[in-house]
Amino acid sequence: MTIHLIKLSVGSESVADLAEWQAARLKQLQRKGLAPELIHITRQMPKRSEELLNGGSIYWVIKGFVCARQRLLELRPLMRDVPHCGLVYDKEMVRVSPRPHRPFQGWRYLNPKDAPPDITKGTGEEDIPEDKRHWKS
C-alpha cells in the first residue's frame, strides 16, 4: 500500500516560487561540491516509511491550497542535537489540481484517496494561470 505526506511550503507564494527556490538550492549545493538533492529535514521519522517509499509523494500546501507534489525517494536518519529525518524527494515537481487545505504544523499522512489528481497535459488545465486555478475548489 502507498501513503503520502502533506506539508506546508512556508514562505512560498506560488508553485513557481517553490520551484525557483529548489533550483537555487540545487545550484548552491553543486557549487559547494555536495550532492544536488532536495531534502526537507523534520524532527520526526515517519513510522509508515515502507508505505511512503512505495510510490508516495510529498504534497505541498501553498497559500492555503495543495498545489504540487514531489515523489519521496528516501527517509534518511540524521543526527543533529537529537535524531531527525531527512525527507529526500525527487527534483521533478508535478502540479496537482488545487485543493484548499487549512494550516497545520509539521507534516501529516495523506491517503491516496484524499490526494488531489495530477494536472495532466492536454486537458487545458495546465494553461490556466496559477492565480486563477483556485476557482475549482
Task: Note whether residue 8 is domain-resident.
Answer: yes
pTM for the structure as a whole? 0.86
**How many domains does the chain divide into?**
1
Task: Note whether residue 17 is domain-resident.
Answer: yes
Residue 71 has pLDDT above 80, yes or no: yes
* 57 pLDDT tier (thresholds 50, 70, 90): very high
Task: Note whether residue 25 is domain-resident.
Answer: yes
| CB distance 108 to 61 below 8 Å | no
Per the prediction, the chain carries an average pLDDT of 89
In terms of pLDDT, which residue wins out, 22 or 106? 22
Q: CA 31, 43, 80: angle at the middle one, nearest 5?
A: 60
Residue 44: partners with Cβ closer than 8 Å, 6 or more residues away? 85, 106, 107
Q: Between the CA atoms of 108, 59, 56 and 104, what dihedral angle is there, to the nearest 10 degrees? A: 0
Residue 18 has pLDDT above 80, yes or no: yes
Task: Note whether residue 29 is domain-resident.
Answer: yes
pLDDT of residue 129: 53
pLDDT of residue 80: 81
Neighbours of 92 (CB within 10 A): 8
pLDDT of residue 103: 87
pLDDT of residue 136: 43
Residue 84 domain boundaries: 4-124
Q: Amino acid letter at 111?
A: N
Task: Note whether residue 14 is domain-resident.
Answer: yes
Euclidean distance between CA atoms 30 and 89, whole angstroms: 17
Residue 135 has pLDDT above 90, yes or no: no
* 131 pLDDT tier (thresholds 50, 70, 90): low
The three cell numbers of residue 134 are 483556485
Euclidean distance between CA atoms 130 and 66, whole angstroms: 12
Q: What is the CATH number of the domain that holds 34?
A: 2.30.130
| CB distance 21 to 9 below 8 Å | no
Report the pLDDT averaged over residues 111-115.
95
* 123 pLDDT tier (thresholds 50, 70, 90): low
* Beta bridge partners of residue 76, listed in sequence order: 86
Task: Note whether residue 131 is domain-resident.
Answer: no
Task: Note whether residue 132 is domain-resident.
Answer: no
Task: Note whether residue 83 is domain-resident.
Answer: yes
